[in-house]
Amino acid sequence: MADSLQQENIQPDDEEHGLNRNRILDAGAAYIENYGLRQLTMRKLGAELGVEAMALYRYVPSRDDLMDGIVERVINDLFQDPEVPGDAANGWQDYLIRLAHGLRRLALTHPQVFPLIATRPPEAPWIRPPLRSLRWTDSFLAALTSSGFSDKPAVAAYRGFSSFLLGHLLLEVASHGADIGPEESADPSKPRSATDLTAFPHIHRMQAQLSEDRSAEEFEESLEVLIERIGLLAES
Please state whether the peptide bond connecting residue 153 to the residue before it is cis, i.e. omega within 30 degrees of 0. Answer: no
Residues in the chain: 236
Please identify which residue in 115, 147, 157, 230 interacts with its own copies, judged by CB under 8 A. Answer: 115
CB count within 10 Å of CB 210 equals: 10
Residue 191 near which of DNA, its own copies, none (CB within 5-8 Å, type-dependent) = none
Cβ atoms of 215 and 178 within 8 Å: the answer is no
Q: Show the binding pattern over residues 132-161: x = contacts its own copies (CB under 8 A), - = does not.
A: --xx-xx--xx--x-----xx-xxx-xxx-
Residue closer to its own copies, measured from CB, 20 or 120: 120
Nearest one of 116, 118, 85 to 102, comparing CA atoms: 85
Q: How many residues bind its own copies (CB under 8 A)?
A: 63
191 touches its own copies by CB under 8 A: no
Q: Examine residue 180 and tell whether it contacts its own copies (CB under 8 A).
A: yes
Scored b (16 or more CB within 10 A) or e, 134-153 reads eebbebbbebbeebebeeeb
Residues 40-79 that bind DNA (CB under 7 A): 40-44, 46, 51-55, 57-58, 62-64
Distance CA 166, CA 58 (A): 33
Footprint on this chain of its own copies (rule: CB under 8 A) = 64, 115, 118-126, 128-129, 134-135, 137-138, 141-142, 145, 151-152, 154-156, 158-160, 162-168, 170-171, 174-175, 177-182, 195, 197, 199-203, 205-207, 209-211, 214, 218, 222, 225, 229
